[in-house]
Amino acid sequence: MPSKSRIVAEVDFEKNGRQQGFLRLFHSVHSSAYGFIPLPIVVLKNGDGPTALLVSGTHGDEYEGQVALSNLVKSLDPARIHGRVIILPAANYPAAMAGLRTSPIDQGNLNRLFPGDANGTVTQQIAYYIEEELIPMADIVCDLHSGGSSLMYVPSALYGGWERGGSEKALAALKAFGAPVAYVSAAGPGGNLTLSGGAARKGVIALGTEAGGSGHVTRAALRMVERGVNNVLVHQGILPDSARIVPDGPTRFLEVGGPDYFVYAPDSGLFEPLVELGEMVRAGQPAARMHWPETPWAEPVTAHFAHDGFVLCKRMPGRATRGDCLFHLGTDVEV
Ligand code: CA
């Protein structure tokens, strides 16, 4: 018998109209014995119909989705929708407020802690609430990520259920998103410990984004996220067809295959990239050199690509430690 979440919602998910408030995550600490951590949540509902759950701030230093959903909270009129939209813009609220990937309270990486624990740490309790309370209400989940502080992506949408043969419904929603680049993958580095892993356990389709990253927001990334979320709401029948925003062009579909799509720092030092985002590379091609300016005469160590492909993701900070991801690739695929 699973435990019940200890988080208390200030909003009523069944009520029509707009509601906004907080999920109260009680957290007893020295400075606040009976206090709660306030996770903002907005529910827009108009009659019976499909439900979309829109999430950002799963990683607190990924800002594109947080900005897009903050805009959407103000612009979406509940009278215009059919069904329900649940918006959780700062899912790992302590991490989002700190501008960090992980929670400053328990160091929890929310996207590695699903299915969570009703009686666990703060971040485990958030994961549990999302998986057991929010996802089961949804017909589709959009979890809006980017590369965070350490990585930059070619702004893209994604679907991570490819290893299960792919869901036609999820792929149709990914096409409707209308991103310039979209990729499909087997479960990524987070495996089934992610929010999309939680959606899969509940039989709910989940899309994501890797909107950009590098700890900042670009207009192009924001436009991609805002247009994509809008178009997914149209695709689900929550917004009318007339609300669809026509994409700039067709979507290029990529697959992120196995571990050989990733390049890691072969040693610790200064990272010299030898290619850039959006380039096509070949297996065996040099990807990066590691330097030691403290011993500048030392020969650099070179990392190579192990696969042909499109450079989808690149590390941003110049200093890298052995094992850091420097690049990952995608390869063109028919979906
Ligand atoms: Ca992320």
CA distance 310 to 166: 22
Q: State whether residue 67 is helix, strand or coil.
A: helix
Write the burial class of residue 96 (CB in 10 Å: 0-12 exposed, 13-18 middle, 19+ buried): buried
Write the burial class of residue 140 (CB in 10 Å: 0-12 exposed, 13-18 middle, 19+ buried): buried
Along the chain (335 residues), what's the average pLDDT of each consecutive run of 10 residues? Answer: 88 98 97 97 98 98 98 97 98 98 98 97 98 98 97 96 74 96 82 92 95 96 98 98 96 94 98 98 98 98 98 98 98 93
Give me 59's structure tokens.
């990683």
Instruction: Quote the pLDDT of residue 1.
Output: 52
Instruction: Quote the pLDDT of residue 161.
Output: 76
Distance from Cα 101 to the centre of ligand 1, integer Å: 8
Cα dihedral value 193, 260, 252, 244, nearest 10: 10
Distance from Cα 225 to the centre of ligand 1, integer Å: 14
Distance from Cα 62 to the centre of ligand 1, integer Å: 7
Q: State whether residue 275 is helix, strand or coil.
A: coil
Instruction: Quote the pLDDT of residue 295.
Output: 97
Residues near ion ligand 1 (Cβ under 5 Å): 59, 145
Instruction: Quote the pLDDT of residue 165.
Output: 58
Distance from Cα 321 to the centre of ligand 1, integer Å: 20
The fold for domain 262-329 equals OB fold (Dihydrolipoamide Acetyltransferase, E2P) (2.40.50)
Distance from Cα 32 to the centre of ligand 1, integer Å: 30
Instruction: Quote the pLDDT of residue 185.
Output: 86
Give me 259's structure tokens.
């571990």
Distance from Cα 184 to the centre of ligand 1, integer Å: 15
Question: Tell me, what amino acid is at 244?
Answer: R
226-248 pLDDT, tens digit per residue, is: 999 999 999 999 999 999 999 99
Residue 134: count of CB within 10 angstroms of its CB? 26
CA distances from 80 to 89, 129, 162, 223 (A): 21, 28, 33, 21
Superfamily of domain 8-256: Zn peptidases (3.40.630.10)
CA distances from 11 to 22, 43, 276 (A): 7, 7, 46
pTM of the predicted structure, to 2 decimals: 0.97
Q: Domain map of the chain by residue range?
A: 8-256, 262-329
CA distance 328 to 276: 11
Distance from Cα 34 to the centre of ligand 1, integer Å: 32
Distance from Cα 319 to the centre of ligand 1, integer Å: 20
Q: Look up tokens 């419904």; give the residue.
A: 169
Contacts 24+ apart (CB under 8 A), 257-261: 257/185, 257/186, 257/307, 257/331, 258/186, 260/306, 260/307, 261/306, 261/307, 261/309, 261/328, 261/329, 261/330, 261/331
